[in-house]
Structure 1
Amino acid sequence: MSDIQVDGFKASATLAALAQVFAGYSDEEKKAQIKKTNGIFELRVKNAAGAEGVWTIDLKNTGSVYKGPAKQKANVTIILSDDTFQQLAEGKLDGQKAYMTGKLKTKGNMMFATKLDGVLKATKTKAKL
């Protein structure tokens, strides 16, 4: 799963841990998570150096996390900084508050973006992020 990690991005370690959690799910757990979420998140993360990393969380078809743009049309593209993503993943920042304060931008289905919080919380307990 190290192909997910990118030097200079704190978010990549979190996403790699998320990928490991998904990989460890039983078929039933994976199906339940896909059924509950039913969509694709494309994350565009900018680090402190201004570089952009792109990752996709596919909870529509495969129940996986991979580096790069969505292979199918994403339900929502979320644009945020590396620090903002870490705060969201750690539960220190609420997604709606991040959006309202301009720390997070979306393209596509904004209401679907609210499901990312639930995905991160559900896996945080298993991944010990």
Structure 2
Amino acid sequence: MSDIKVDGFKSSGILAGLATVFDSYNDEEKKAQIKKTNGIFELRVKNMEGQEAVWTIDMKTSGSVYKGESKTKPNVTLIMSDETFQQLAEGKLDGQKAFMTGKLKTKGNMMFATKLDGVLKAAKTKAKL
């Protein structure tokens, strides 16, 4: 999944790890995660240099992570800094707090954005096994 990594973005390493976890799911686990989440997250992340990278977490059809914009309309687009995504993924920052303080912006279904935390936690748990 090296095609997910983007130089200068710490987020890309986290997302590549997430993709590896999704790939390791058996069909039953993948179907359960898709059924539980049922949507598409598009992540727009800016690094310290002001460059933007885009990734999509598809938990509606394929249960995968890929670099680039969503192939279909995402349920929510999350706009944040590289550092903010890293803190969210590590559980050091609460998504609602990030949103309320302006570190996280959303386009689309804001309530769906809350499901990202569950996806990240499930993947983190699986990665530790």
Same fold (TM over 0.5): yes
Partner residue in 1 for 2:122: 122
Displacement over 3 Å in runs of 4+: none
Q: Deviations over 1:60-81 (max 9, x none)?
A: 0000000000001000000000
1:25 aligns with 2:6: no
- Three-state SS of the structure 2 residue aligned to 1:96 is helix
Q: C-alpha distance in 2, partners of 1:117/1:98?
A: 12
Q: C-alpha distance in 2, partners of 1:60/1:68?
A: 16
Q: Give the C-alpha shift of residue 125 in structure 1.
A: 1.8
Could you list the runs of 5+ residues in structure 2 that have no partner in the other structure?
none
Q: C-alpha distance in 2, partners of 1:112/1:105?
A: 13
Q: C-alpha distance in 2, partners of 1:103/1:17?
A: 23
- Three-state SS of the structure 1 residue aligned to 2:65 is strand
Partner residue in 1 for 2:4: 4
Q: Give the C-alpha shift of residue 44 in structure 1.
A: 0.0
Partner residue in 1 for 2:110: 110
Q: Percent identity?
A: 80
The count of corresponding residues between Structure 1 and Structure 2 is 128
Partner residue in 2 for 1:98: 98
2:66 maps to a residue whose letter is: Y
- Three-state SS of the structure 1 residue aligned to 2:96 is helix
TM-score normalised by structure 1 residue count: 0.98
Q: C-alpha distance in 2, partners of 1:126/1:67?
A: 22
- Three-state SS of the structure 2 residue aligned to 1:91 is coil
- Three-state SS of the structure 2 residue aligned to 1:50 is coil
TM-score normalised by structure 2 residue count: 0.98
Q: Give the C-alpha shift of residue 115 in structure 1.
A: 0.3
Q: C-alpha distance in 2, partners of 1:104/1:15?
A: 17
Q: C-alpha distance in 2, partners of 1:48/1:117?
A: 24
